[in-house]
Amino acid sequence: MSAKPQAASVLIAGAGNIGSHLAPLLARAGVGVLRIVDRDVVEEKNLRQQDYGPQDIDCGKALALARRLAAQFPTLRVEPFVADLEDVPLGAFRVDVLLGALDSRRARQFLISERGWPLGVPVIDGGVGEGLLGRVQVFVPGDAAACLECTWGEADYRHLAAEYPCQPGAAPSAPATVAPACVGAVVAGLMAARYLALVDGERPVESRELAFDLRHNRFLESRLRRAPRCRFDHRVVREIAMILAQARIADLVDLVECRFGTRPAHLEGRRRAANGGFAATRFLPVEALRERGPEPLAALGLGPGDGVRVTSGGESIFVMVER
């Protein structure tokens, strides 16, 4: 990668047992822009495993971390998002490295399969297990590299269905994993080290995993292999088109038709409430937008820095709204 630690931008998804320890480590590593996403607030029960104090109770986790880091590191640009990942603008994921500290398969799928990989952004993903178990995976979008779903089996997809609620706006039902703070801190340290290796050295060509068992002092590193029957298409979207924030829906339709002609195409946006814009399914056919041409992009829930993925046949582009 071309970015150095002092100029790099990163996004941390999840500010719990792992993410609350990871954010200060990245700040000390000298990142230039640090975005933190977490929808939860600090509760008293979090103080045992997560890096918060009594003064943070009832404050959004992302806000609490941002407030502390901004005071400690005045040159750091820290941007908190107290929101679900699916409600964060697409442009926020255009960083040098994404880091996942999530406790839900669905959230991990969204971060890695629907944001990191299509944007060509490497993802460092960490997790803790029962007891003293943990793991760190590095996913590097590429022609032969393994993705998250290459590591999944049928059981993972069954659990995914349980975690992905049918009702729009409902919270995922995956139970939190209770692990000692020391395990989350070890995962965070390993993730920070992998981050430094990514931005300071050459980008690896394969995805890897480091799993550990602290109780028995065991560490195992392995290469993740591309699954021949993976359900994910492994497509990196290499074309990004820009559109003005004050544009109309008709301008968006014209842009899509200019790129794909008369071929059927659909737009995939971040999750929106059913307000005439993107619904919970996040998909809109271009044909459905023609009658709404005079309306502004905001009518679709698209604001500055946001974006949509446009797909026609086997081709995809991203359309980004200028800030």
Query: If you average pLDDT over residues 19-48, what whole number do you get?
Result: 96
Q: Give 277-304 pLDDT, tens digit per residue.
A: 555 456 888 988 889 999 999 888 888 8
Distance between CA 74 and CA 30 in Å, rounded?
11
Q: Give 99-119 pLDDT, tens digit per residue.
A: 999 989 999 999 999 999 999
For the chain, what's the residue count? 323
Query: If you average pLDDT over residues 150-160, what whole number do you get?
Result: 89
Confidence of residue 203 (pLDDT cuts 50, 70, 90): confident
What residue ranges define each of the domains in the chain, with the CATH number in brackets? 9-223 (3.40.50.720), 240-321 (3.10.290)
Q: Is the confidence at residue 47, as pLDDT, over 50?
A: yes
SS3 230: coil
**Please, what's the b/e burial string for 81-112 (b: 16 or more CB within 10 A of its CB; e: otherwise)?**
bbebbbbbbbbbbbbbbbbbbbbbbbbbbbbb
pLDDT of residue 269: 76
Q: Give 262-274 pLDDT, tens digit per residue.
A: 899 999 876 554 4
